[in-house]
């Protein structure tokens, strides 16, 4: 996802037009406005429950930190923004700034892995690659690997990684986006002018031992269509109670009123994935959200966090989730 630019002004424009936004029947039934659970700029949130029962959330750089963190006794909150930089040094292959979309996962031996989008020192200025970092503590500090996990700069780079542990098979994975719109020709999120570049969602199996070593090559499991506007991004995987794999992702440009959260389902982790008939969350839903996106599901596909525009920037919101082969619904 793109870094925050003029977002407070954009929030006002989006809210003023929210009564004309698309209707999303799965989320629009709520009459009162859904309030943020963390009312600060906290984009691209991910969540993790640690072994002590406490919940932690991590977010894109902001508030003076490269990787932000917050904690809560329950996923619904109350959330507290922590005065700690989880990963102050994102690694020698990065510029040391503009670290996006962190996702933390715990390995069985008690260590933690942080996946993130680091701004590369190679390629065109501003291009990102997917990196990994490890720590013995959930809040770090995390030590970044010396090389990125995925760095296809000739295709635009890679962003928005999210780890996934498949309990059914004991395998570990990462999903991420190839940032094709970074190579675009201008327009909406730099990819609104033909020829339009693909922005595929990739699935990479990882070592079951360390979650930082790739196993084989990455596989494409989704790509943008005309209905997605310039891109798809922000993938997150979970497995529903009936065994269905649920892929959450966002489409359209983060700075537009069309930015949303969509989903696709599959009987196999590698796909094929069938897209949902309608977006899960869009502008105007849940009492008037503006540009919701960047959703991450907790294991079990029973709850999620996401960001939406707010006066502070992009605040974190929470919702329950009900997922199966036949339907994916919010349960706020």
Q: What does the DSSP assignment read for 302-324? A: SEEEEEEEETTEEEEEEEEEEE-
Q: What is the pLDDT of residue 299?
A: 83
Half-sphere exposure of 109 (CA within 13 A, CB side): 9
The reply to whether 228 belongs to the active site is no
Q: What parts of the chain have a pLDDT lower than 50? A: 1-29
Exposure pattern of 126-161 as b/e (b: 16+ CB <10 Å)? ebbbbbbbbbeebbbbbebbeebbbbbbebbbbbbb
185 membership: H or E segment, kind and range: none
Bridge partner residues of 232 (DSSP): 251
Q: What is the pLDDT of residue 31?
A: 54
Q: What is the pLDDT of residue 108?
A: 83
Q: What is the pLDDT of residue 128?
A: 99
Structure-token pair, residue 139: 């809040």
Q: What is the pLDDT of residue 179?
A: 98
The reply to whether 233 belongs to the active site is yes
Give the torsion sign (CA, 245, 33, 49, 3). positive
Catalytic residue among 41, 44, 179, 228: 44
Catalytic residue among 85, 160, 233, 258: 233
CA 326 to chain centre: 24
**Which residues are CB-neighbours of 316 under 8 A, at least 6 positions away?**
36, 37, 38, 42, 45, 57, 59, 70, 79, 305, 306, 307
Strand segments (E) across the chain? 46-49, 55-59, 68-72, 80-81, 100-106, 112-119, 128-135, 143-144, 158-166, 171-178, 201-206, 219-222, 232-239, 245-251, 260-266, 274-275, 293-297, 303-310, 313-323, 328-330
Q: Is the pTM of this model over 0.95?
A: no
Query: 16 in helix, strand or coil?
Result: helix
Cis peptide before 75 (omega within 30 of 0): no
For residues 178, 181, 183, 188, the Cα torsion angle rounded to the nearest 10 degrees is: -170
Q: What is the pLDDT of residue 21?
A: 37
């Amino acid at each position: 996802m793109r870094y925050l630019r003029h977002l407070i002004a954009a929030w006002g424009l989006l809210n003023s037009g929210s009564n004309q936004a698309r209707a999303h029947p799965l989320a629009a039934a709520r009459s009162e406005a859904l309030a943020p659970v963390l009312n600060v700029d906290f984009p691209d949130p991910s969540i993790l429950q640690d072994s002590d029962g406490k919940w932690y959330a991590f977010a894109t750089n902001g508030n003076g930190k490269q990787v932000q963190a917050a904690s809560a006794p329950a996923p619904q909150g109350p959330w507290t923004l922590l005065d700690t930089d989880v990963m102050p040094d994102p690694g020698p292959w990065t510029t040391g700034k503009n670290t996006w979309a962190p996702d933390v996962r715990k390995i069985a031996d008690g260590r933690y892995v942080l996946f993130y989008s680091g701004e590369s020192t190679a390629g065109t200025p501003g291009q990102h690659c997917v990196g990994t970092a490890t720590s013995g503590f959930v809040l770090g500090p995390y030590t970044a690997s010396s090389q990125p996990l995925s760095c296809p700069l000739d295709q635009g780079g890679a962003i928005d990684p999210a780890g996934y542990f498949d309990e059914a098979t004991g395998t570990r994975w990462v999903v991420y986006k190839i940032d094709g719109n970074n190579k675009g020709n201008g327009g909406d999120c730099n990819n609104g002018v033909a020829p339009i570049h693909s922005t595929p969602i990739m699935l990479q199996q990882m070592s079951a031992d360390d979650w930082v070593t790739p196993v084989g090559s990455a596989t494409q499991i989704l790509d943008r269509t005309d209905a997605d506007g310039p891109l798809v991004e922000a993938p997150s995987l979970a497995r529903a109670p009936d065994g269905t794999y649920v892929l959450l992702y966002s489409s359209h440009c983060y700075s537009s009123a069309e930015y949303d959260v969509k989903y696709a389902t599959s009987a196999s982790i590698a796909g094929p994935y069938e897209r949902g008939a309608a977006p899960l969350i869009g502008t105007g839903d849940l009492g008037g959200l503006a540009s919701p996106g960047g959703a991450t599901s907790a294991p079990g596909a029973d709850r999620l966090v996401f960001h939406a525009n707010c006066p502070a920037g992009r605040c974190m919101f929470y919702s329950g989730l009900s997922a199966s082969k036949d339907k994916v619904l919010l349960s706020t």
